[in-house]
């Protein structure tokens, strides 16, 4: 694997040399001993087998969900629009990502070169190449995105020692409603809630977390006082002339009502709840996905023992997320999607923001990979580079001893997720 960590380190030293104040330069120059210590951190970060707490299924090449070729891997959201795909080619993240992938495949650095390699090699071969190079020992898959020719979770175990499932709750509700359409069930709020809750219970012991995209479905502000009558009226609206696929997205009372049911299940099975926060695609109103809106749930004593993880570094609300993790014991943070989709500056500052207040034990890596195997590779590679850079700076700034930085790397890249999701399997070794 080729990391530019060494480069990153040289770069840090050389930028220090242009600081105007000579005493600052003296103070910041790395001694030989410090350089050696940093190489220990670099080795840890490069070698560690990472645990990916949040990703999605890979799909076959001829899936209808791929509309823009390989460039689509550099847009955000499973349903990229044509404009987003066209413009993605001039983003910083695409420029770097294309070079990284071309280097991995040994092709020329061009979209055509990489596309040709992919076509000739096939999905199995590139998945194997990407996942080997990613050095990820475990993945947790949210399989609730509707995608054409999606590979099942089992299929991913051909390439990774451990694969577990995350259950997307809104999708479960919609599937039950869709089945009702097919078999002629006419739901009442009671019969529907019962079907929903028993579905969650029936899989609770086989999954590692619940996941909610309530941020997409009207925002993170949950109405804890929603009544059954309100939910019932909302359900009635969903079912008027309903056709498949059903989306409950514009039926907020029902969304809130089901969210509260999900929290009860999370509590009774001690399952963590992943929460989409921050950026996404155009379906999302970013104003409403600031995690500060989640306060009603966080303040409610009934849910104080739930374990929430805010996904995507809550970008651009990373500082807010960090604050919440520092004041609420039930809040944890995950930086997948922010890495690898942002520019290098964006990725480094997102992780630095998360660590401004949040304990190291609450901050976790994931790739949020989906559809394209390269997204696993780029998520893993960029996370190693970014975590090295952030912890190196914490060392240089005198915040962490090198031994502490090494432990922090192991926590952020693997151990926090193993603990948080209670992954215990002989398939993986805890670093």
Ligand X SMILES: *[C@@H]1O[C@H](CO)[C@@H](O)[C@H](O)[C@H]1NC(C)=O
Residues near ligand X, by CB under 6 A: 157, 162-164, 176, 179-180, 183, 185, 195, 223-225, 240-241, 296, 425, 427
Minimal distance, residue 59 CB to ligand X, in Å: 20
Minimal distance, residue 164 CB to ligand X, in Å: 6
Residue whose CB is less far from ligand X, 16 or 197: 197
Residue whose CB is less far from ligand X, 100 or 256: 256
Do 320 and 290 touch, CB atoms closer than 8 A? yes
Minimal distance, residue 212 CB to ligand X, in Å: 18
Residue whose CB is less far from ligand X, 248 or 342: 248
Minimal distance, residue 162 CB to ligand X, in Å: 4
Q: CA 293, 294, 300: angle at the middle one, nearest 5?
A: 130
Residue whose CB is less far from ligand X, 95 or 288: 288
Minimal distance, residue 217 CB to ligand X, in Å: 17
Minimal distance, residue 337 CB to ligand X, in Å: 23
Residue whose CB is less far from ligand X, 199 or 319: 199
Angle formed by the axes of helices 92-105 and 123-134, to 10°?
Answer: 100
Minimal distance, residue 139 CB to ligand X, in Å: 9
Give the three-class secondary structure for 162: strand
Residue whose CB is less far from ligand X, 52 or 353: 52
The conformational region for residue 29 under phi > 0 = left, psi -120 to 50 = alpha, else beta, is beta
Angle formed by the axes of helices 123-134 and 374-396, to 10°?
Answer: 10
Taking the C-alpha atoms of residue 393 and residue 405, their distance in angstroms, rounded to an integer, is 10
Give the tokens for residue 100: 């990284």
* Closest to 114 in 3D by CA, of 97, 128, 134: 97
Minimal distance, residue 425 CB to ligand X, in Å: 6
User: What Cα–Cα distance (Å) separates residue 129 from each residue in 97, 125, 364, 413?
Assistant: 16, 6, 24, 21
Residue whose CB is less far from ligand X, 100 or 170: 170
**How many Cα atoms within 13 Å fall on the side-chain side of residue 33?**
2
Minimal distance, residue 367 CB to ligand X, in Å: 17
Taking the C-alpha atoms of residue 421 and residue 212, their distance in angstroms, rounded to an integer, is 16
Strand-pair category, 136-142 with 162-168: parallel
Minimal distance, residue 177 CB to ligand X, in Å: 8
DSSP letter string over 64-128? TT--SGGGGGGSSSSS--HHHHHHHTTSHHHHHHHHHHHHHHT--SSHHHHHHHHHHH-HHHHHH
Sign of CA dihedral 30, 36, 40, 42: positive
- Please state, as a whole number, how many other Cβ atoms lie within 10 Å of the Cβ of residue 40: 13
Residue whose CB is less far from ligand X, 162 or 377: 162
Residue whose CB is less far from ligand X, 21 or 186: 186
Residue whose CB is less far from ligand X, 31 or 243: 243
Taking the C-alpha atoms of residue 331 and residue 308, their distance in angstroms, rounded to an integer, is 5
Spatial CB neighbours of 349, under 8 Å, sequence gap ≥ 6: 318
């Amino acid at each position: 694997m080729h990391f530019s960590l060494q480069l990153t380190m040289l770069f840090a030293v050389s930028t220090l040399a242009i600081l105007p104040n000579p005493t600052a330069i003296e103070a910041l120059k790395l001694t030989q001993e410090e350089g050696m210590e940093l190489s220990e951190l670099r080795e840890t970060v490069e070698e560690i087998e990472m645990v990916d707490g949040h990703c999605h299924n890979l799909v076959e090449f001829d899936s209808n969900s791929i509309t823009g070729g390989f460039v689509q891997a550099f847009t955000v959201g499973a349903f990229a629009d044509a404009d987003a795909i066209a413009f993605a080619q001039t983003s910083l993240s695409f420029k770097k990502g294309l070079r990284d992938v071309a280097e991995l495949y040994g092709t020329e650095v061009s979209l055509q070169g990489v596309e040709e390699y992919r076509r000739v090699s096939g999905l199995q071969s590139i998945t194997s190449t990407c996942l080997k190079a990613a050095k990820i020992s475990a993945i947790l898959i949210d399989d609730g995105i509707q995608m054409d020719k999606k590979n099942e979770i089992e299929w991913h175990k051909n390439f990774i020692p451990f694969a577990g499932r995350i259950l997307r709750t809104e999708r479960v509700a919609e599937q039950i409603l869709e089945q009702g359409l097919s078999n002629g069930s006419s739901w009442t709020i009671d019969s529907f809630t019962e079907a929903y809750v028993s579905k969650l219970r029936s899989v609770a012991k086989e999954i590692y977390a619940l996941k909610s995209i309530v941020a997409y479905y009207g925002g993170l502000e949950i109405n804890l006082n929603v009544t059954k009558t309100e939910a019932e009226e909302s359900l009635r609206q969903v079912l008027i002339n309903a056709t498949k696929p059903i989306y409950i997205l514009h039926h907020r009372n029902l969304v809130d009502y089901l969210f509260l049911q999900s929290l009860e299940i999370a509590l009774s099975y001690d399952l963590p709840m992943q929460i989409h926060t921050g950026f996404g695609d155009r379906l999302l109103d970013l104003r409403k996905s600031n995690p500060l809106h989640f306060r009603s749930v966080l303040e409610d004593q009934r849910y104080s023992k739930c374990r929430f993880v805010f996904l995507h570094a809550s970008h651009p609300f990373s500082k807010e997320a960090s604050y919440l993790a520092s004041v609420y014991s039930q809040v944890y943070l995950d930086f997948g999607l922010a890495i690898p989709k942002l520019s290098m500056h964006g990725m480094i500052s997102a992780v630095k923001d998360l660590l401004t207040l949040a304990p190291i034990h609450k901050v976790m890596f994931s790739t949020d990979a989906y559809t394209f195997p390269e997204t696993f590779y780029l998520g893993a590679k960029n996370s190693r580079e970014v975590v090295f850079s952030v912890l190196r700076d914490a060392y240089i700034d005198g915040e962490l001893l090198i031994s502490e930085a090494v432990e922090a790397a192991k926590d952020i890249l693997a151990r926090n997720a193993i603990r948080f999701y209670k992954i215990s399997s002989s398939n993986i070794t805890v670093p």
